[in-house]
Chain A
Amino acid sequence: MRKNRLSPNRRQLLQGAAAAGLVFTLPKGAKADAGVVNFYNWDTYIGETTLEDFTKATGIKVNYDLFASNDELFAKLRNGNPGYDLIVPTNDYVERMIQADMLMPLDHSKLPNMKNLDPNFLNPAHDPGRKYTIPYFWGTVGIGYRKSAVDGVPDSWAYLYTSDKYAGRIALLGEATTVFQMAFKLMGKSINDWSDENIAAAEKMILAQKDRITAFAPDNGQDLLLAGEVDLAQEWNGDIQQAMDEDDDISYVVPKEGGLLWEDDLAIPKGAPNPDGAHVLINFLLDAEVAAKNADYVYYATPNKAARALLGPEYNENPVIFPPEEVLKKCEISIFPGQEVMSKIDAAWTRIKAAG
């Protein structure tokens, strides 16, 4: 029998095993101050160095993961938290999560930087007293348009929903709820008035307009605008602001009937492995300078008054980010209408997508 050249003798084997064993025992104090926070956020929704600054300031590492829509976030957390400490749902999804008991109440004593927030944001309808959430950014949904391709300022939803003036050069959003809500605005109704007649009337309006609509763009309306595929796009203000930075010919307006007012909040889902670390991160994001840096990069409206004080007029007086008072008054916040209405909306939306 040939002796195998590679067979280690017993002593070498034990030495090797001991060395391997040492690797797997970390120093005792390591876990106490170097925790990890799993942060689940929208894409490009935080300053470029914010998370590194956080790790430098507190020693806590951040595992950063991205999602593309509220539905994705909700679907991921529906059957139990897969391990996230901090999430960023929009206001109507915060309502859903509170209803489904998916959020952990916040300990405000661990969030001293809450004093930096604008008092207007401290008691919203979707989370009274800020029991579960801290506001992160807010904004509007309106019309992004190419100035040279349209007459004047297209300040009405009619140009997207009923008019054939810009047929074939229109993009609507890809999510049923928002598209219907803006149709309601055009009809003069509240965006939260989900009566059967309103849904049917909006469905009829969109079906009639379907041939003139180029695309139902889930979140790339600004790309279509920039590429010249459409001249009018129903979009979030921050997306259009980014497009405006690249192309001077693009502008943004909230229609005279009013647009959607939304708010993205920081929340801690139930079953988070490191809620203390999440609180530290929230407090860090509420710090005036950190929030200012974030706002300067993300270019959405920040609810942090102290941060606004640190930023210049270029940000604070930008009408795309901070719409004028008269416009804000006509915008409404979406309230979660309940699962039954959501099914009706989805059925109507499927009918629209199936047609023609």
Chain B
Amino acid sequence: MRPFLAGRVMESYRKNFRAFLAFFTPPFVWLVLFFFVPLGIIWLYSFGETEGLTKIRLTWTLENYKRLLEPEIISLFWRSVWLSVISTAVCIVVSYPIAMVIATAKPKWKPWLLLVIILPFWTNLLIRTYALLNILGTRGRLNDLLHWLWSAGDRALSLIGLGDYHLLGERFMPVKFLGEPVGVMIGLVYVYLPFAVLPIYASLERLDRSYLEASLDLGASQWRTFRQILLPLSSGGINTATVITFIPMLGSFLIPDLLGRGQVDMIANVIERQFKSGNDWPFGSALSLFLLYITFILLALQSFHAMRQRKREEARG
């Protein structure tokens, strides 16, 4: 019986070159036409100058790249970095327990739990962000909750006779989430949490439970088992999760625009402005490529780490 064609291709692309070509060519053409060519055009733009209002002249100037070093660009880039770093850290810390719950759940429940995590992916990003606008406003649901907690606390205090001191303040002051970095960070965590849960879940799922059993049997505490056995073994998943949440956060535009109310601009907002009101496509291209280089460097670092991790696993087993 002849083996399945794709299986033959997967054996070795050298042995079945024509089959390999048949599979490889369409996606390759697509990649070249719709990714590399436009990227090449952007790359060329970044060495150009705006001429008049609509033309770009390719002068191989480095002026656009020099402008990347201007203080306001550096400061905006720094803000994007620390907002993304903190949001990624929160994402990882929140998603690890969730991934553990799903990985250790009964097989009956696993698909449903996964569905709960994946379902937000099916909702449009804009709608999800608008929902947050409703929740985080000064008259939104979150402040309603805080107000309720405040009145409960206030009443409790007056019950025990401390009412006159107004320990919790005279009046409830709604917390300002929108237009502040904290609101943008809440938005980033909310939107990118599924990205973080899934790789960690995948690595926990693949984990050999006998390691954990052995560690507990040999007398290690729960915490020590977690820190010295579980975390290192799932570090591949954590690294993947970190990279695939940090990179989109760094380049996010919609969340800081809507939730930051124009006060918490990130680097992608500046890029957008260059292609619209700034009418400076060369500078916008240079900024976009800068973001792309950073992404590539991070991905390269992550893949080096993954390679080293795999070598370590091979050496061990």
Chain A residues engaging chain B, CB cutoff 8 angstroms:
69, 71-72, 74-75, 78-79, 96, 99-100, 102, 168, 174-177, 210, 213-218, 227-229, 339, 342-343, 346-347, 349-351, 353-355
Contact = CB atoms under 8 A, between A and B. Distances in A.
B76 A353 contact: yes
B262 to A, nearest CB: 3
Q: Is the interface of B mostly helix, strand, loop or mixed?
A: loop
Contacts of B59: none
Nearest to B67: A347
Interface string B43-65: 00000001011100000000000
**Which 6 interchain pairs have the tightest Cβ spacing?**
A216-B262, A71-B276, A215-B261, A353-B265, A346-B278, A100-B53
Interface residues of B, number: 30
Given A79-B54, A215-B261, A351-B72, A229 B139 contact: yes
Interface string B253-274: 0000000011101000110011
Nearest to B256: A353
Contact of A354 (B76, B278, B280): B76
B54 A102 contact: yes
B120 interface: no
Contacts of A71: 276-277, 279
Interface in B204-220: none
25 contacts: A71-B279, A74-B276, A74-B279, A168-B176, A175-B277, A177-B277, A214-B261, A216-B263, A217-B262, A218-B262, A229-B137, A229-B139, A339-B52, A339-B279, A342-B278, A343-B278, A343-B280, A346-B273, A346-B274, A347-B70, A347-B72, A349-B273, A353-B262, A353-B263, A354-B75
B255 to A, nearest CB: 15
A95 to B, nearest CB: 10
Interface in B165-194: 176, 178-179
Contact of B261 (A72, A175, A217, A351): A217
Interface of B: 50, 52-54, 70, 72-73, 75-76, 79, 137-139, 176, 178-179, 261-263, 265, 269-270, 273-280
Given A74-B279, A346-B273, A346-B277, A227 B137 contact: yes
Nearest to B267: A354
Nearest to B70: A347
Given A177-B277, A350-B265, 5 more contacts: A215-B261, A217-B262, A227-B137, A229-B138, A353-B270
A215 B265 CA distance: 12
Contact of A78 (B54, B179, B277): B54
B291 to A, nearest CB: 16
Nearest to A210: B263
